[in-house]
Amino acid sequence: MLPTLPLEKILHSQGFGTRRECRALIRDEAVSVNGEPCDDPTAVFATANLEFTVYDEPWPYREKTYIVFNKPAHFECSHKPIHHPSIFGLLPPPLVLRGVQCVGRLDEDTTGLLLLSDDGQFIHRMSSPKWKVPKTYLVTAKHPVSDELIRRLKEGVLLHDESEPIVALACERVSEYQLTLMLAEGKYHQVKRMVAAAGNRVEQLQRIRIGNLALDTDLAEGEWRWLDPAEIGSPEAKQVQNNHQNPPIGP
pLDDT tens, residue by residue, 36-71? 999 999 999 999 999 999 999 999 999 999 999 999
| Dist. CA 187–CA 24, nearest whole Å | 46
As a whole-number percent, the residues of the chain with pLDDT over 70 amount to: 91
CATH class of the 135-210 domain in this structure: alpha beta
Eight-state DSSP code of residue 89:
G
Could you tell me the residue ranges of all domains in the chain? 4-60, 66-128+216-239, 135-210
Band of residue 173 on the pLDDT scale cut at 50, 70, 90: very high
Region 127-141: mean pLDDT is: 89
196-224 pLDDT per residue, tens: 999 999 999 999 999 889 999 899 999 99
As a whole-number percent, the residues of the chain with pLDDT over 90 amount to: 72
Band of residue 126 on the pLDDT scale cut at 50, 70, 90: confident
**Annotated active-site residue in 39, 40, 107, 216:** 107
Tell me: pLDDT of 243 over 70.
no
Q: Quick one: which of 45, 110, 27, 117 has its CA closest to 71?
A: 110
HEC string of 185-246 equals CCCCCHHHHHHHHCCCCEEEEEEEEECCEECCCCCCCCCEEECCHHHHCCHHHHHCCCCCCC
Task: Say whether 107 is catalytic.
Answer: yes
When mean pLDDT is compared across 121-130, 192-201, 228-237, the lowest value belongs to 228-237
Neighbours of 217 (CB within 10 A): 6
DSSP codes joined into one string, 129-146: TTT---EEEEEEESS---
| Dist. CA 96–CA 85, nearest whole Å | 15
pLDDT at position 27 is: 96
User: Whole-number mean pLDDT of the chain?
Assistant: 88
What is the three-class DSSP state of 60? strand
pLDDT at position 3 is: 82
Region 104-122: mean pLDDT is: 93
pLDDT at position 130 is: 79
| Dist. CA 188–CA 196, nearest whole Å | 14
Fold of 66-128+216-239: Alpha-Beta Plaits (3.30.70)
pLDDT at position 237 is: 36
Band of residue 189 on the pLDDT scale cut at 50, 70, 90: confident
Instruction: Tell the CATH superfamily of the 4-60 domain.
Output: RNA-binding S4 domain (3.10.290.10)
pLDDT at position 246 is: 36
> Is 135-210 in the same CATH topology as 66-128+216-239?
yes
Residue 48: burial class (beta carbons within 10 Å; 0-12, 13-18, 19+): middle
